[in-house]
Amino acid sequence: MNDQFAIDLAFMRIALEQARQAAEAGEVPVGAVLARGEILLAAAANRPIAASDPTAHAEILAIREAAEKTGNYRLPETTLYVTLEPCIMCMGAILHARIQRLVFGALDPKTGAAQSRYTIGIDGLLNHHLEIAGGILEGECSRMLKDFFKERRECKIEGSRR
């Protein structure tokens, strides 16, 4: 196993822990971590419901935290690790922050903007090019999302029987 892959796995495991925290709070289980090399700059869990903020995706919150910590809205030479392929909004923020690499776990065939539905950042249409690696701990990331939504559906069905 090469060093970069070992680093990617370690940070993705932290992102998975953030996703677990989101699920425990009743949020869609997505977690994000922003790092520069082996240095953790920020970690965040999805919070749109708790924050009453549609932009409070894990990616956005991690970017905000890292920008505040570094004192710069540009985050060059960083990698964003996220458990689910980012949406269009998050891809826009990733590009504006000049993040170098995106590493994600599960594909999002409905709204994924890095690979599944759109190829923002690698399609050559913008001035910032992004390195993207998908599928890191994909099974764990996908399973967490599937279990979360299965449980929500089952709760709704049980609630309708009463």
Query: Which residues form the catalytic set?
Result: 59
Q: Which residues contact residue 80 at a Cβ distance below 8 angstroms, ignoring those fewer than 6 apart? A: 32, 33, 34, 59, 62, 63, 94, 99, 101, 102, 103
**Separation between Cα atoms, residue 148 and residue 27, nearest integer Å:** 9
Q: Which residues contact residue 114 at a Cβ distance below 8 angstroms, ignoring those fewer than 6 apart? A: 85, 86, 91, 102, 104, 120, 121, 122, 130, 132, 134
Tokens linked to 131: 């390195």
**Separation between Cα atoms, residue 9 and residue 137, nearest integer Å:** 7
